[in-house]
Amino acid sequence: MSLVTSLIMRQMRAPFIILILGYSISVLGMVLTPGVDDQGNVWHMSFFDAIYFVSFTATTIGFGEIPYALTNAQRTWALITIYLTVVAWFYSLGKIISLVQDPTFREALKKNHYQRQLERIPESFILICGFGETGHALAKALTERNIHTAVIESNSRLIETLPLEDFPLVIPGITGDARDPEQLILAGLQDRKCAAVIAVTASDEANLKIAVTSKLLHPEICVVCRSEIEEYESNMISFGTDFVVNPFDTFANIFAMAMHSPSLHLLYDWLTGVPNTDLSNPVYIKEGHWIICGYGRFGEGLYKQLLKTNIQVTIIDPSEEKREAFLNHPENKNNDFIIGTGFDAHTLTVAGVTRAVGLVSGTDNDSNNLSIIMTAREINPELFIIARHNKKSNEKLFEATHANIIMQPSEIIARKIRTLLVSPLMIAFLNKARNQDPTWANITISRIMGALGDSVPSIWTLHVNEKDARALCSVLRLGRVIRVGNLLQDAHQREQQVKAIPLMLKRNQKLLLMPTDDIAIKSGDQLLFCGTPSAHRSMKWCLNDLHRLNYIMTFEDTPDAYIWRKLHQYLKRNERRNRPRQKRHIMK
Amino acid sequence: MNREKVVFSFFMILALTLNYGFYTGEVDNPSHHNVYELFAVVVVNMIATVLKFGDRSQMGAMLLATSLVALVQLFSASLIWAYVVSIQGNPMTPETMSTIVSLSGGAMIANVISVILLIIETSMMRH
């Protein structure tokens, strides 16, 4: 018996006993009290009559005095019955209502509901700690890729809105402080279906605590942490946190990629984006004079990337200390540091906004950022603008500024973590792609565009093993040769190709970019594909269904059921028998 | 002393004694079996069952099960009585009476098991 049911039952004991006593006393009294029938004889109600009478009286339905009109003695007892049973009902109903409203009961009910939802998840799930902007974006992205998630969040309001939102999968949510190990366990940390824990609360300290707890209590699972402060980051890595994601570093890296090779950046954007959204356009970052407003973690990260390309930069920040530290550093000698906020025209003009090509509005205050963008645009409408967007609620405002790049920390983290969890090979692919020359990225982009059209492709990894590709493995064991090109044949029409492109082949720790169609597949290979969802389905079907695979390899659609199989064999035999005869005929 | 246990034991043993009182006598003789006694057995047994609601211990669950069995038997006996006498309007026959009494005999066995379980529980508490 679950805790909730036993709690209800225990609380219901008193009301039930009161009801039983009230009813039985009333019934007994009705039976014992003498009445008179229609002929004037003394008559007693049977138990059946009495139970009927008391039942409609107690529920205030009141059918009247049946079967015969009551005597005064019976009416007296009926009065007692009315007050006894109606009061018993009031008491019981009051008790039930107060039980339903009881906070402990409601909490128990919610926990029960959460646990049942977790049990209903068929495969594995990912536990997200913190359902702020990042957690929300992540939950959306993961469920869109058919990955189950569960959420623990200390703000009960955010959990209550969960069922109202339109996620593709049901996301179980529980209110609780994820820093408390008990609550994490309750949220499903030690569940064998729990595949990963993502700590994306607003505080680095809480994320650290969650990471430690998860690694200690369930060492096999993957732990991903958000961190914005370097000390915490190194601390998290020290005890084996699998991935630590820093939004500012991540963005600085993406920015460097965009600066170095716009086509590579575009490839990154496409392959890590949300499937079925429109493909983005390339971003060309101009070289020339740049202004960075706000020299915090974000501004500094971008500055370091700009420094590598010898672009001249002017920094605007109100902090004197930062200016001292900046100017004392020898590598900054070519660049300027102006004390100010950046949202007034004077400071911007001094910083050279009229001749600048780019501006970064990177303070941690959205109103300031917006104001900087508006002022700068007024002076120099040609500026390339990178805006830091802190609060989700200001999304519409930032969209209205038409900034060239909008950096939203929660989006950046969600995208990075999603890529880490959904397709770990993708990270390896992108790292390897970074070392290729720009023309390689251009060719890849045009291949993807040509084959898949203009929406963001799905990404999937094919593991050549018993679990993911049963039929393929059994065919490989027989010694048949299957090439990459065979995988791309349509399950319905062998001559046609599905809309998918193999991006990378991983074999024995070796990575091969863009494998060609003639490479033979070996057991244990891992292949990274991008393509349409229907191509993914077709491929999955072929690789797990022997008949489909056979069809692809041989043109033959062999039947599955016993009778059809026998018939098929019979027809084939006949065909073979007929063939030599014809030959003989020709010879004559 | 555990008051909850004392109250439960009282109702459980009362259910058994009343049940025995109803059960004794010639099995098919209606004058040996009092309808008020059957009513009392049903009520007391219902109370004993409700008293075990929400008990998460193994013994509590067992006791709930045995008293539920007794209740099922007693309810069927009462329903037969009500069906024959009140719904069909026939007088009580020896055949009907023996059915009712044998059903209540089954309930008594369940109640005996309950009391045995109670005794076991109490003796285990001593150790």
Please answer whether residues A394 and A368 qualify as being in contact, where contact means their C-beta atoms are separated by less than 8 angstroms. Answer: no
Please answer whether residues A584 and A577 qualify as being in contact, where contact means their C-beta atoms are separated by less than 8 angstroms. Answer: no
Mean pLDDT value of segment B94-113:
95
Rounded Cα distance between A412 and A406, Å, is 10
Rounded Cα distance between A112 and A172, Å, is 11
Rounded Cα distance between B114 and B23, Å, is 17
Q: Which of A4, A11, A16 would best serve as a mutation to test chain B binding (most B beta carbons within 10 A)? A: A16
With CB atoms and an 8 Å threshold, state whether A13 touches B51.
yes
Angle separating helix axes B3-23 and B35-51, nearest 10 degrees? 150
Q: Does A63 touch chain B (CB under 8 A)?
A: no
Distance from CA of A234 to the nearest CA of B (A): 48
pLDDT tier for residue A558 given thresholds of 50, 70 and 90: low
The one-letter amino acid code at A10 reads R
State the DSSP H helix or E strand holding residue A36, giving kind and residue range, or none if neither: strand A35-36
With CB atoms and an 8 Å threshold, state whether B54 touches A17.
no
Report helix, strand and coil shares of chain B as percent, to nearest 5. 80, 0, 20
B54 CB neighbours in chain A (<8 A) are: 1, 5-13
The pLDDT value recorded for residue A562 is: 74
| Residue B111 pLDDT greater than 70, yes or no | yes
With CB atoms and an 8 Å threshold, state whether B53 touches A16.
yes
Peptide bond into A67 cis (omega under 30): yes
Distance from CA of B123 to the nearest CA of A (A): 25
Q: Can you say how many angstroms the Cα of residue A69 is from the centroid of all Cα atoms in its chain?
A: 70
Rounded Cα distance between A499 and A245, Å, is 33
The one-letter amino acid code at B125 reads M
With CB atoms and an 8 Å threshold, state whether A17 touches B47.
yes
Mean pLDDT value of segment A102-128:
87
CA angle B88/B92/B95 to nearest 5° reads 105
A424-434 residue pLDDT tens: 888 888 888 88
CA angle B47/B49/B50 to nearest 5° reads 65
A30-39 residue pLDDT tens: 999 999 988 8
State the DSSP H helix or E strand holding residue A338, giving kind and residue range, or none if neither: strand A336-339
Please answer whether residues A291 and A370 qualify as being in contact, where contact means their C-beta atoms are separated by less than 8 angstroms. Answer: no
ipTM of the complex: 0.89
Q: What percent of chain A has pLDDT over 70?
A: 97
Distance from CA of A35 to the nearest CA of B (A): 17
Q: Which of A27, A48, A99, A105 would best serve as a mutation to test chain B binding (most B beta carbons within 10 A)? A: A48
pLDDT tier for residue A580 given thresholds of 50, 70 and 90: low
DSSP A491: S
Mean pLDDT over each residue of chain A, to the nearest integer: 85
The pLDDT value recorded for residue A87 is: 92
With CB atoms and an 8 Å threshold, state whether A1 touches B87.
no
Site of tokens 């193994």: B58
Structure-block tokens of residue A381: 């409408």
Q: What percent of chain A has pLDDT over 90?
A: 16
Pairing of strands A405-407, A42-43: unpaired
With CB atoms and an 8 Å threshold, state whether A17 touches B53.
no
Structure-block tokens of residue B15: 């259910």
Q: Does A2 touch chain B (CB under 8 A)?
A: no
Mean pLDDT value of segment A444-473:
84
| Residue A550 pLDDT greater than 80, yes or no | no
The pLDDT value recorded for residue B105 is: 96
With CB atoms and an 8 Å threshold, state whether A20 touches B43.
yes
- Checking A259-265 for CB contacts under 8 A at 24+ apart, the result is A259/A285, A259/A305, A259/A306, A259/A309, A261/A438, A261/A441, A263/A438, A263/A441, A263/A442, A263/A445, A264/A433, A264/A434, A264/A436, A264/A438, A264/A441
CA nearest to B47 within chain A: A17
Distance from CA of A10 to the nearest CA of B (A): 4
| Residue A451 pLDDT greater than 90, yes or no | no
B8 CB neighbours in chain A (<8 A) are: none
Bridge partner residues of A448 (DSSP) = none
pLDDT tier for residue A586 given thresholds of 50, 70 and 90: very low
Mean pLDDT value of segment A527-545:
85
Q: Which of B39, B53, B85 sits opposite A9 (nearest CB)?
A: B53
Rounded Cα distance between A433 and A452, Å, is 20
Mean pLDDT value of segment A39-56:
92
**SS3 label, residue A333:** coil
Q: Which of A9, A27, A46 sits opposite B54 (nearest CB)?
A: A9
CA nearest to B11 within chain A: A17
| Residue B62 pLDDT greater than 60, yes or no | yes
A360-372 residue pLDDT tens: 888 888 888 898 8
Pairing of strands A405-407, A458-463: unpaired
With CB atoms and an 8 Å threshold, state whether A24 touches B43.
yes
Strand order in the sheet with A510-513: A458-463, A526-531, A500-507, A510-513
B35 CB neighbours in chain A (<8 A) are: 47
Q: Where are the beta strands (DSSP E) in A103-249?
A: 125-129, 148-153, 173-175, 194-199, 222-226, 243-245
| Residue A136 pLDDT greater than 80, yes or no | yes
Q: Which of A10, A20, A47 sits opposite B54 (nearest CB)?
A: A10
Q: Which of A3, A4, A8, A9 would best serve as a mutation to test chain B binding (most B beta carbons within 10 A)? A: A9
Distance from CA of B36 to the nearest CA of A (A): 8
Structure-block tokens of residue A142: 């993961």
Q: Where are the beta strands (DSSP E) in A435-553?
A: 458-463, 500-507, 510-513, 526-531
Site of tokens 């002022």: A375
Q: Does A411 touch chain B (CB under 8 A)?
A: no
Q: Which of A5, A6, A11, A95 would best serve as a mutation to test chain B binding (most B beta carbons within 10 A)? A: A6
The pLDDT value recorded for residue A88 is: 93
pLDDT tier for residue B96 given thresholds of 50, 70 and 90: very high
| Residue A578 pLDDT greater than 80, yes or no | no
Distance from CA of B44 to the nearest CA of A (A): 9
Q: Provide the phi-psi class of A64: left if phi over 0, else alpha when psi is between -120 and 50, else beta.
A: left
State the DSSP H helix or E strand holding residue A234, giving kind and residue range, or none if neither: helix A230-238
Q: What's the farthest any 2 CA atoms get from each other in chain A?
A: 122
Rounded Cα distance between A293 and A328, Å, is 20
Mean pLDDT value of segment A254-262:
84
What is the pTM for the complete model shown?
A: 0.68
The pLDDT value recorded for residue B127 is: 53
CA distances from A544 to A327, A374, A467, A533 (A): 64, 57, 9, 17
Residue B74 CB-half CA count within 13 A: 30
Rounded Cα distance between A84 and A302, Å, is 80
Q: Which of B41, B50, B78 would best serve as a mutation to test chain A binding (most A beta carbons within 10 A)? A: B50
The pLDDT value recorded for residue B43 is: 95
State the DSSP H helix or E strand holding residue A406, giving kind and residue range, or none if neither: strand A405-407
A13 CB neighbours in chain B (<8 A) are: 50-51, 53-54
With CB atoms and an 8 Å threshold, state whether A47 touches B39.
yes
Structure-block tokens of residue A538: 């077709």
Higher pLDDT, B116 or A587: B116
Distance from CA of A150 to the nearest CA of B (A): 29
**SS3 label, residue B36:** helix
Strand order in the sheet with A405-407: A336-339, A313-317, A290-293, A358-361, A384-388, A405-407
Q: Which of A5, A21, A46 sits opposite B86 (nearest CB)?
A: A46
Q: Which of A1, A20, A48 sits opposite B82 (nearest CB)?
A: A48
Q: Does A50 touch chain B (CB under 8 A)?
A: no
With CB atoms and an 8 Å threshold, state whether A28 touches B53.
no
The DSSP result for A407-450, as a single string, is E-HHHHHHHHHHHHHH-HHHHHHHHHHHTS-HHHHHHHHHHHHH
Please answer whether residues A489 and A535 qualify as being in contact, where contact means their C-beta atoms are separated by less than 8 angstroms. Answer: no
DSSP B31: G
- Checking A175-178 for CB contacts under 8 A at 24+ apart, the result is A175/A110, A176/A152, A178/A129, A178/A130, A178/A152, A178/A153, A178/A154, A178/A206, A178/A209, A178/A210
| Residue A588 pLDDT greater than 50, yes or no | no
Lowest-pLDDT choice from A22-26, A172-176, B65-69? A172-176
Identify which of A334-338, A524-528, B48-52 has the greatest average pLDDT: B48-52
Distance from CA of A54 to the nearest CA of B (A): 15
Question: How many other β-carbons are positioned within 10 Å of the β-carbon of residue A126?
Answer: 23
What does chain A come to in residues?
588
The pLDDT value recorded for residue B38 is: 94
| Residue A583 pLDDT greater than 70, yes or no | no
Lowest-pLDDT choice from A58-67, A563-572, B14-23? A563-572
